[in-house]
Structure 1
Amino acid sequence: MARQSTLSGSVATLALGAGLLLDVAAAAAFGAGRDTDAFVAAARLPLAGTAVLLLLGNQVLVPTFATWAVTLEARRMRRLVTGTLLAAVGIGAALALALGALGPLLARVLAPGFDAEQTALTASLLWVMVWTLPLAAGCEVLRSWFNARAQVVVPAAMTVVMNLVAAGLVLTWPGDVRVLPLAYVVGSACQLLLVLAWAVVRGFRVARPRWRDPELVALPRLLARPSTAAGLNPLARVAETAIASFLAPGSATVLHYGNRLVSAVGGTVLFRSVMVAVLPRLTRAQVAGRRDEAAALATLGLRLMVAVSLPLTALTVVLAVPGVELLFGLGRFGESDARLLGLCVVVLALSFPASAVQRALLAPYYAARDTRVPLRNAVVGVAVDLALLPVAVLPLLGTGYEVLGVAAAFVAGNVANVVHAHHCLVGSELPRPRLDAAALRGSVLGALAVAAAAGAAWALGGGLAPLLPGSALRLVVAGAAGVVVLVLTVVVQRRASSGGRHRRTGGAGS
């Protein structure tokens, strides 16, 4: 499971690089100002829908497809998966039409601080951007089909195609912000074609769906609560964009890039990679009634999350500001905007450990297809986030750092998620993941070692400046040092854990 998580995470890192290229290209071409704020507002609902689809696929469709594979015959499963795919694309297209028709109204709601010209631009960009929804829906159903079969490489890599195609269009036609939503749509279409072609190669066959099949009829009810829960976090991002529309021009853009960077590093590379490996196995163990195995898998998932999330947080905090200044301080994206974005990433990265633990604690519920607790958990986190937004932003008004208050409220919401998830799991009959003091201590020491290695390498890396541009080389050296120490700490923790288990087994046997 650790090897599969590493493989999926490695491929997801390539997708992160491609997404970073897209963001850097857009930032260099359009900067951070009124037009880009309009795009951020227009993209907020479509990107929120895509995030919801990603979570539904990982949390509901993967365990559902895994359950069907264990309990149903192959022909019926093909009909069910085909029906799920067609329904997802159809619903996505209907939603796109509805959102596009409501564009002018939504533009005023999403960004109430915009003037008439910005509002009109937002509505026109929204009409194009919404067509990513049916394309993303098809991709996520197929990705879930792959992941339920423990095939992770191509599903993790398909985002690379979308980002590279979109970045190519942005670089080809810079100067007009209207190319941005078009780039996302074209990239999403190429992504869907790739994943569909590979699914056919790997055995996917279209079958005539039976819409009255009890499993297909029950699926909307199964998706209802997770859809609401998954939609709450993007709803909070919508509220943040609305607040940013009243701040200085470019604030919504900076917050948008910060959320994308942190979501890509944490959600795509770390959290999703681990959960893709854990959830199908945990589902099969719980369906088969193997409680000891389920508890061991849940515990392993939590240990993997903590072992990586704390050092990753330390590495991000140390290198976020110089890294963002180097990558985003290009073209029309000013130095002050790049520094503010780097500080925003530092604050948002503090959510990594809480997000990791939250997902590990909720995994047994998703494996059991129990969606009530995850919904309540999402409500708690978003409520805390929104309640703290004015408290965190008001003291910073007029300083130019208001977006840092928005980021701090987001971190507090993640901490509330962990407290609630732990409270619910303690009182349930589901397998409870456990984290011993030695594992936590090892992760904390690993985080300190990563921070020290990356910081020292950054401080000493200036001496190699004649070989490459100074900042670029220093960033590469510091990042490499941090990653090497991160890998070493994980290996040491794994060996220590294995040694402890061996000693305990040996003692019991003798």
Structure 2
Amino acid sequence: MSKSLFRASGVVGLMTLLSRLLGFVREIMLAAAFGAGAGMDAFLVALMIPNFGRRMFAEGAFSQAFVPVFTATKTTAPHEEARALVAVTMGTLGGVLSLITIVGCVASPLLVWAFASGFHDDPDKAALSAGLLRWTFPYLMFISLTSMAGGILNAYGRFAIPAFTPVILNVCMIASAFVDSGSVQALAWAVFAAGILQFAFQLPSLWTLRLLPLPRWGWGDARVKKIVGLMLPVMVGSSIAQISLLLNSNLSTHLGDGPVSWLYYANRLMEFPLGIFSIAIGTAILPTLSAQHATRSAEQFAATLDWSLRLMLVIGLPAAVGMVLFAGPLVATVYGHGRFGADDVRMTTYALWAYGAGFIGFSLIKVLTPGFYARQETRLPVRFAIIGLCVGMAMSLLLFALARHFEFRAAHAGLAASTSLTAWINALLLLHRLKRDGVYVASAGWGAFTLRLLLACALLTGVVLWGMGSLAWWTEAGARDKAVRALLVIVAAIVVYFAALAAGGLRPRHFRRS
């Protein structure tokens, strides 16, 4: 693929890596200070609710609908037209979100009941979560405006600022430990402050592009109607995976104290490579695909998808293999401190195994959905997501019922497995449709490429199994010893993997050209 697209993915990946590294520091702090008990469960539910809206709306429906429309306007119309589109979109979006925020804060007890029905048996836990939600819910409004600003900057090839912005949330939450390290209330305050700061951080960049006009209400504007028309089916599609996670989180609140936190901590480890690589690639290719569709460059469109799939597999496949094999040591090294005990390590490891099995499925969705949204095709991804959701939800309910009947402590791992199944079904349906419609045509060399990957992953597996040892050592060793050993195993596995690819003839230049 082109050097500029490769560079764009690298910039997004590098900035996201910084955010995820700080996120690791954040998660270590949360696990050590609060463990996996009732207080942490309450905060995670209060954080989960605005995050549900963020992923469904800000990073899902709105960004996927707004970016293609804005890119088309920027590509084919004068700058003043793009400026006017920003004004009406930001004004309308801000007005709607302000109303939603007021309703959400007032109705926080009802939202906690809907998202965490298991808290009904513990009134103190439910009340704590509702109080925290009044501080965390406004984050949805600010992060949605931040997502819009980031989409505009991405359309102009300015990926660094939007990709760096999530770092602010991690910094605020880490700083909250110095405000009041004994209360989860400080974490809620940090989320509120981070939302404001993330939006403000992007405004100077919009100003330099002359794209910071006075917002104005424009619900009846034809451009806003077009974005809303594209958003509605995308919102349903984007919410599918979130509904699956929501169902699983809700079910986990019926399993006592701990499962909500175990699922959260495992999911955060899974999202580390997902955010660095897969989401970075998907973010980078959406403006490019949108521009290629606008100029009717079908061959380049297919080549961009092919490039993104290959790059995702080169990085994502070893990440998935390593995540499953090295789950226990990874959880023990990152979280196994302070109040996060050996039992918490084991329970989180079970969940990470289940999430790791679906990592490539999650990654494929991030890379393939831009192939639909760039062409303003929003209904098919929704249909496929609903199919995957129905199968996954049925599996969740079945496994939950069986676990409760047989009193199986690791029932939360079955919930994570159902989420992975949902992702795989969705991803395979997306890929099949793109190939069937001729939108994606695989370029030559996939057979040899796949063989190289498999051989390299086999060598990586050997290195990990040789270096990891027993889980008992990881739960009993000191923090420094665990960190040093984990780093050595991971670095050795990475070196062996890429050395094997190089020996097989795969070079970086293969990802810098078509």
> Normalized against structure 1, the TM-score is what?
0.90
Contact 1:357 1:418 in 2 (8 A): yes
Unaligned stretches of 5+ residues in structure 1: 506-510
Separation of aligned partners in 2, 1:279 and 1:500: 17
What is the one-letter code of the residue matched to 1:247?
A: L
**Which has the larger displacement, 365-374 or 435-444?**
435-444
Whether 1:280 and 2:287 are equivalent positions in the alignment is yes
Separation of aligned partners in 2, 1:494 and 1:102: 59
Whether 1:80 and 2:46 are equivalent positions in the alignment is no
Tell me the secondary structure at the aligned position of residue 113 of structure 1. Answer: helix
- By how many angstroms is 1:122 displaced? 1.9
Whether 1:451 and 2:432 are equivalent positions in the alignment is no
Unaligned stretches of 5+ residues in structure 2: none
For this pair of structures, how many residues does the alignment match? Answer: 498
Tell me the secondary structure at the aligned position of residue 117 of structure 2. Answer: coil
- By how many angstroms is 1:137 displaced? 0.9
Which of 2, 7, 15 matches 1:3? 7
Distance 1:445 1:286, change over 3 A: same
Partner of 2:346: 339
Partner of 1:508: none
Which of 40, 65, 82 matches 1:60? 65
Distance 1:81 1:264, change over 3 A: farther
- By how many angstroms is 1:415 displaced? 1.4
- By how many angstroms is 1:457 displaced? 4.3
Partner of 2:365: 358
Which of 43, 66, 77 matches 1:39? 43
Partner of 2:32: 28
Contact 1:88 1:141 in 2 (8 A): no
- By how many angstroms is 1:432 displaced? 4.0
- By how many angstroms is 1:176 displaced? 1.5
Partner of 1:408: 417
Distance 1:432 1:360, change over 3 A: farther
Separation of aligned partners in 1, 2:501 and 2:140: 38
Separation of aligned partners in 2, 1:174 and 1:315: 33
Contact 2:95 2:217 in 1 (8 A): no
Contact 1:325 1:338 in 2 (8 A): yes
Partner of 1:421: 430
Tell me the secondary structure at the aligned position of residue 430 of structure 1. Answer: coil
Separation of aligned partners in 2, 1:335 and 1:484: 31
What is the one-letter code of the residue matched to 1:77?
A: A
- By how many angstroms is 1:286 displaced? 1.6
Separation of aligned partners in 2, 1:427 and 1:363: 17
**Which has the larger displacement, 31-40 or 408-417?**
31-40
What is the one-letter code of the residue matched to 1:441?
A: L
> Normalized against structure 2, the TM-score is what?
0.89
Contact 2:318 2:457 in 1 (8 A): yes
Partner of 1:257: 265
Q: Which deviations, in whole Å up to 9, do the C-alpha atoms of 1:17-38 show, x marking residues without a partner?
A: 1122222212222221122222
Where do residues 53-452 of structure 1 align in structure 2 (5 Å cutoff)? 53-56=58-61, 58-114=63-119, 115-201=122-208, 203-207=210-214, 209=216, 211=218, 212-266=220-274, 268-397=275-404, 398-433=407-442, 436-452=446-462
Contact 2:31 2:339 in 1 (8 A): yes
- By how many angstroms is 1:163 displaced? 0.8
Separation of aligned partners in 2, 1:231 and 1:354: 17
Separation of aligned partners in 2, 1:383 and 1:342: 26
Contact 1:348 1:407 in 2 (8 A): yes
Separation of aligned partners in 2, 1:81 and 1:111: 37
- By how many angstroms is 1:216 displaced? 2.3
Q: Which deviations, in whole Å up to 9, do the C-alpha atoms of 1:391-443 show, x marking residues without a partner?
A: 33344442321111111111111111123223433442534456822222222
What is the one-letter code of the residue matched to 2:23?
A: G
- By how many angstroms is 1:156 displaced? 0.9
Distance 1:210 1:409, change over 3 A: closer
Whether 1:482 and 2:487 are equivalent positions in the alignment is no
User: CA RMSD, aligned part only?
Assistant: 2.8
Separation of aligned partners in 1, 2:140 and 2:244: 19
- By how many angstroms is 1:217 displaced? 2.5
Contact 1:454 1:482 in 2 (8 A): yes
